[in-house]
Amino acid sequence: MNKLIVAEKDKAARRIAEILSDGTYESKKVGKTNVYEYSENGDQHQVVGLRGHIMKIDFPEQYKDWQAKEPEELIRADIEKKPLHKGIVNSIQKLAEKAEETIIATDYDREGELIGKDALEVIQKQQKDIKNKRARFSALTPTDVKQAFNETGEMDYLLSSSGEVRQILDLVWGASLTRYISLTAHRYGDNFLSVGRVQTPTLAIIVDKEKEIEAFEPTPYWEINIKLQTDKKPLQAQHTEGRIWDETKASEIYSKIQDTATVTQIKTKTRKDKPPTPFNTTAFMRAAGAVGLTPSRAMSTAESLYTAGYISYPRTDNTVYSESLDIHQKLDMLGTHPEFQENVQKIKQQKKIQPTRGDKTSKDHPPIHPTQLASKDDLSKTEWKVYELVVRRFLATLSPPATKQLVTIKLTSGGEKFHSKGTKYTDLGWRQHYPYYKTKETILPELQENQELKIKDKQKESKETNPPNRYSSNRLITEMDNKGLGTKATRHNIISKLYSRNYIYGDPPKPTKTAEAVIETLEKYAERITQPDMTATLEKEMDQIIEGELEKQEVIEESRQMLEDIFKDLTKNKEEIAESLRTGLQKDKIIGPCPDCGENLRIMRSRRGSRFVGCTGYPDCNYSLPLPKRGNLIRTKKTCPDHNLNKLKVTYNKDKKPWTLGCPQCNYDEWQENKNKEKNKEKTEKNNK
């Protein structure tokens, strides 16, 4: 029998072929697509890898012209499915001609099931009645893969339907709203303003936080501290009132402090720090920030490690290890690794090994955990960072709590109360295996109650409250999860999209003026687009499709009705929206005052399309500065102290790192100076000849 096995990606296909053939497979090409062949028990097997989705959905050709159709018409427009990668589709069709059975071995989740279903439909166009099976696994290890192919099941069409609904909702919401806002703002071509079902509420979180920071007014307060002489190191103590909001009161306390302080109480208590729960996708992406990785980089690296068989499937909500996961076998495996040998030995010495449990369970995939040994030599630096993070998290979940001793020393001086707090770990527990959390100790000197100590120094410190912190991209993932925005598989891509759309820059991400203009306008005139409620509701309903509680068309119809209600708000406020966007978007181009006339300097484009800084006082003022030809320009909030101009950053849509252009005037002056030096050098060399 000729069997065709379809994997989600080429690397996964090669790995599956290697495992099932015990390394005896042969490679060939059908078109430009790699195919891995082997024989087993008289059956011929061909394993082919896709490139993720091989089909896409889109509107019919008549909707391509943004000017020809009203954006609202897209809500109920027909939707067509078209090949996304024609070469792979053609290769699969050719392979299907001789196939008698197909086994779908794409990732087992919503997107993977849809990818597999699309591939199966391509095959069935060639062989309508072909036998088909579904292989599901959570790790690309010999044990998992062989078991999956020995215990194949059927396609889960409810799961793939949920994926189809997600595609349709994203297309209809994104296309209709993006066109409406872009056309209203007269932003055409590559300059369009992107609006989306998930990305816009996510952007609103960032913009609202920025507004909160900008509106923050610091409040002054005072702290009173004393330094005391002991037999060993000095002891720092703080007034028990902490922040004192009245300076007069702070001065009164300060004036009462005598030359000595008396120890009135020494209190000791023990506290246990619980070990962390197993990694699901959200927790993993947040933890990856500790090793310097963005969510997007962390996920792409984790997927690479999964495909190579080193870790389990990285897209999971699960935080509970199943009973079938052989913890002791994993420990035996990791115990042979020189990096983790000592950690494993300590865990094995425990009286009982009891894994921690999170509050989320799912049947599709286990929490992220190591599946095979990897050495530093086999992996890139980034891959090793992620692999070690996964291993150490796994070890931490099998470890006992950390035990720390909290000591509080209470003192008085001049009737005023002070205290000093110390922390000492008596048992590091899980922390010795998982060094990504700070294990800070403050060791206090040994003292006795009623002991009198000399005060070496006293301070009345003036301070101010700080504004709230921005969300780091890793912390933003958790916030999205809490608000029901996106899924474990899409959240990191949403954040990446906000970067590529020039809505945010830096990390923690800061919004551009364009982002602020879009969100402020929508919050004022069509607030529902910026709120997570509707999107969270739709995400829950897509889960209900999987459970068979809702039909695909029910959810699509409800989303269309939601969108039609939103368009009523947009249409009613069209003129106000246009004016609000126009005013707000102008701010993103203004970088400061012209040194010649005092009018605004703006980022402009010439008739030929090249960018430059020009004066809004033109034609009366011709002042201008050059700008880079390539990359996306972002106006930062930092200003040049010499020229009072906003500094600029240049970002790229690809993986190329952004770079800081800085002040365009300073940049130009430096270029001019170097140019003059070069001219003088050439002149000197010419004269010397």
Task: Give the model's pLDDT for residue 416.
Answer: 96
Looking at residue 204, which CATH number applies to its domain?
A: 1.10.460.10
**pLDDT: which is higher, 289 or 630:** 289
Task: Check whether residue 430 and residue 497 sit in a common domain.
Answer: no
Number of domains in the chain: 5
**pLDDT: which is higher, 67 or 431:** 431
Q: Report the 10 Å Cβ neighbour count for 153.
A: 10
Looking at residue 345, which CATH number applies to its domain?
A: 1.10.290.10
Summarize the confidence of residues 217-238 as an average pLDDT: 95
- The answer as to whether 684 is a domain residue is no
Segment (H or E) for 248: helix 247-256
Contact between 615 and 639 under an 8 Å Cβ cutoff? The reply is no
Position 24 pLDDT exceeds 90: yes
At 450-477, the pLDDT tens digits run: 999 999 999 999 999 999 999 999 999 9
At 36-58, the pLDDT tens digits run: 999 998 999 999 999 999 999 99
Looking at residue 431, which CATH number applies to its domain?
A: 2.70.20.10
CA 534, CA 648: separation in Å to the nearest integer? 36
Position 152 pLDDT exceeds 90: yes
Task: Give the model's pLDDT for residue 633.
Answer: 85
Task: Give the model's pLDDT for residue 363.
Answer: 76
Could you tell me which residues are beta bridge partners of residue 626?
612
Position 655 pLDDT exceeds 70: no
Q: 2-7 and 101-105 as β-strands: parallel, antiparallel, unpaired?
A: parallel
Task: Check whether residue 22 and residue 139 sit in a common domain.
Answer: yes
313 assigned to active site: yes
Task: Give the model's pLDDT for residue 661.
Answer: 85
Catalytic, out of 180, 310, 313, 471:
313
**pLDDT: which is higher, 188 or 276:** 276
What is the DSSP secondary structure assignment for residue 178, as one 8-state letter?
H
**Which residue type occupies 675?**
K
- Residue 646: give the domain boundaries: 591-675
Task: Check whether residue 317 and residue 454 sit in a common domain.
Answer: no
Task: Check whether residue 148 and residue 210 sit in a common domain.
Answer: no
Task: Give the model's pLDDT for residue 23.
Answer: 94
Task: Check whether residue 30 and residue 143 sit in a common domain.
Answer: yes
Task: Check whether residue 511 and residue 611 sit in a common domain.
Answer: no
- The answer as to whether 65 is a domain residue is no
Lowest mean pLDDT among 117-131, 307-321, 601-615: 601-615
E runs forming strands in 191-348: 220-229, 235-239, 260-273
Task: Check whether residue 595 and residue 651 sit in a common domain.
Answer: yes
Summarize the confidence of residues 94-109 as an average pLDDT: 95
Looking at residue 33, which CATH number applies to its domain?
A: 3.40.50.140
Summarize the confidence of residues 31-36 as an average pLDDT: 96
Task: Check whether residue 114 and residue 10 sit in a common domain.
Answer: yes
Is the bond into 142 cis (omega within 30 degrees of 0)? no
**pLDDT: which is higher, 362 or 407:** 407
Task: Check whether residue 353 and residue 500 sit in a common domain.
Answer: no
Task: Give the model's pLDDT for residue 653.
Answer: 62
Task: Give the model's pLDDT for residue 433.
Answer: 97
Query: CA Rg, the chain, in Å?
Result: 31
Position 287 pLDDT exceeds 80: yes
Position 685 pLDDT exceeds 80: no
Contact between 97 and 90 under an 8 Å Cβ cutoff? The reply is no
Summarize the confidence of residues 490-497 as an average pLDDT: 93
Task: Check whether residue 25 and residue 169 sit in a common domain.
Answer: no
Pick the last residue of a domain from 541, 564, 583: 583
CA 104, CA 5: separation in Å to the nearest integer? 6
Segment (H or E) for 115: helix 110-126
DSSP 496-552: HHHHHTTSEETTTTEE-HHHHHHHHHHHHH-GGGG-HHHHHHHHHHHHHHHTTSS-H
Pick the last residue of a domain from 136, 155, 174: 155
**pLDDT: which is higher, 500 or 9:** 9
- The answer as to whether 227 is a domain residue is yes
At 175-221, the pLDDT tens digits run: 999 999 999 998 888 789 999 999 999 999 999 999 999 999 999 99
Task: Check whether residue 539 and residue 612 sit in a common domain.
Answer: no
Q: 26-30 and 33-40 as β-strands: parallel, antiparallel, unpaired?
A: antiparallel
- The answer as to whether 689 is a domain residue is no
Contact between 534 and 566 under an 8 Å Cβ cutoff? The reply is no
Position 656 pLDDT exceeds 60: no
At 108-128, the pLDDT tens digits run: 999 999 999 999 999 999 999
CA 355, CA 335: separation in Å to the nearest integer? 17
- The answer as to whether 523 is a domain residue is yes
**pLDDT: which is higher, 586 or 521:** 521
- The answer as to whether 548 is a domain residue is yes
The mean pLDDT of the chain is 93
Summarize the confidence of residues 601-610 as an average pLDDT: 86
- The answer as to whether 56 is a domain residue is no
Summarize the confidence of residues 24-29 as an average pLDDT: 96
Task: Check whether residue 14 and residue 101 sit in a common domain.
Answer: yes
At 533-579, the pLDDT tens digits run: 999 999 999 999 999 999 999 999 999 999 999 999 999 999 999 99
Pick the last residue of a domain from 415, 432, 464: 464
Task: Give the model's pLDDT for residue 689.
Answer: 61
Provide the whole-model pTM: 0.88
Read off the pLDDT band of 672 (50, 70, 90): confident
Position 654 pLDDT exceeds 60: no
- The answer as to whether 160 is a domain residue is no
